[in-house]
Amino acid sequence: MRPDTPADHTTEAERLLRAAARYPEDREPLLLQAAAHLELAGDRARATTLYDELLGSTDLDLDHPHLVKALNAANLWEYGHEAEARAIIEGIRAAGPLDPGPWEIAAETLEAHDELEAAHDYFSTALTLLLTPGEEVPYATQSLLSGRHRVRRLMGVDHDAWDELADTLHTATVPLDELHDPKRLWSLGSSDPGELQAEITRLRAELGTYRTALSRPFPVAVLHWPAAELAELLTAYPDLREEYPSHPEHLARLEAALRDLHQAGTPNLGIVTGTVPSYEAFAASEAASPSDPDLLPQYATTLAARGRATPWPPARSAACWCGSGRAYRECHGAE
């Protein structure tokens, strides 16, 4: 059962903290989850302590340091530390991370505190940095377009090209303009059955979107083995050779699988990179043999759940996911 009361959230946070002590390799995602539950429990000061612990750790190389900073800023602002939160948010902007997550959290923090122009500028700065004209919008970046669209509707400004792109990418039955209509709140006080029914329809559409996101909190990921790791894997577990006839074949199959999933309409795709020690540790935790091919997709899903996935497809001008050093469009992204 999901936590519901502050006490439930505190209990869940304590469980996650114990898990982080047992599994130091997953400390970052576990502490972030624990901090989120502490925020929901109303213990924001303790949540800040966890964020500070992550950011100040000398023995942990954070995978998403700017995400931790953004979450910390959002939490700090909520319990009276506005100046510190603003400083962190400006620091994220100056750093220019290529991960959409920190930008979205920081922009939504500004929006939540009625800093609409600052939020709009933040969303726009992020999209300028992360979007390449003419290329497909990555799944993780689409929410930045939606957030910017929402803020611009609140500001009462006309649509621009990015708003039109947000409308195009929106798949819910209720149009984005209607969902982001600032006059919607007025209908909640209306006695007109038609207005109330329209609002129920809009809320159901929003709920469906949220449920879709929650049902896939991490990417559908395929497992990539670098050449040296694959050679070590097959030497130790030759039964897996049927899965991996050669490294070039492995890379070709991986790209083909991702394209098939994409064409089938599967959103939020990614690639996780395996290592033999990590795979062996996972097999041991599952009381299974590393030679079992059925363990491979479970390992990939576990890595994705730990935040290890790299979104696919990359920008065509970006380095290819395979590590060749060539641009994606010249390597596995070639048509």
H/E stretch holding 84: helix 82-95
* End-to-end Cα separation, the chain, in angstroms: 47
Closest CA to 34 of 68, 76, 79: 68
CA nearest neighbour of 122 among 113, 170, 65, 40: 113
Determine the pLDDT at residue 118.
97
- Distance CA(41)–CA(4), nearest Å, equals 9
pLDDT tens readout for residues 149-160:
999 999 999 999
- Residue whose token pair is 């006839």: 245
- Band (pLDDT 50/70/90 cuts) for residue 191 is low
What pLDDT was estimated at residue 138?
85
| Burial of 221 per CB tally in 10 Å (0-12, 13-18, 19+) | buried
Q: Which long-range contacts (CB under 8 A, 24 or more apart) does 253-258 make?
A: 254/222, 254/223, 254/224, 255/332, 257/222, 258/222, 258/312, 258/313
Q: How many CB atoms within 10 Å of residue 275? A: 15
Element (H, E) at 270: strand 269-273
Structure tokens at 58: 């000398």
Residue spans of beta strands (DSSP E) within 141-237? 220-224
pLDDT per residue as tens digits for the range 253-295: 999 999 999 888 887 888 999 999 989 988 998 899 999 999 9
197 vs 268: which has the higher pLDDT: 268
- Band the pLDDT of 309: cuts 50, 70, 90: confident
**Torsion sign over Cα 79, 83, 88, 90:** positive
- Judged by average pLDDT, the poorest of 23-32, 165-174, 203-212 is 203-212
pLDDT tops 60 at residue 218: no
Percent of the chain with pLDDT over 70: 89
For residue 82, what pLDDT is reported? 96
β-bridge mates for residue 319, sequence order: 327
pLDDT tens column, 205-215: 655 655 544 44
The answer to whether the CB of 303 falls within 8 A of the CB of 291 is no
pLDDT the model gives residue 303 = 86
Average pLDDT for the chain: 87
What is the pLDDT at residue 149? 95
Distance between CA atoms of 303 and 305, rounded to whole angstroms? 5
Identify the CA nearest to 81 among candidates 106, 48, 54: 48
Specify the amino acid at residue 141. T
Phi, psi angle pair for 272, to nearest 5°: -115, 140
Residue 266: predicted pLDDT: 83
Band the pLDDT of 140: cuts 50, 70, 90: confident
Check pLDDT > 70 for residue 94: yes
Classify residue 327 by its DSSP letter. Answer: B
| DSSP for 6-18, written as a single string | HHHHHHHHHHHHH
**Spatial distance between the Cα atoms of 241 and 230, rounded to a whole number of angstroms:** 10
Assess whether pLDDT exceeds 60 at residue 217: no
Query: What's the token pair of residue 196?
Result: 């109330």
> Residue 121: what pLDDT?
97
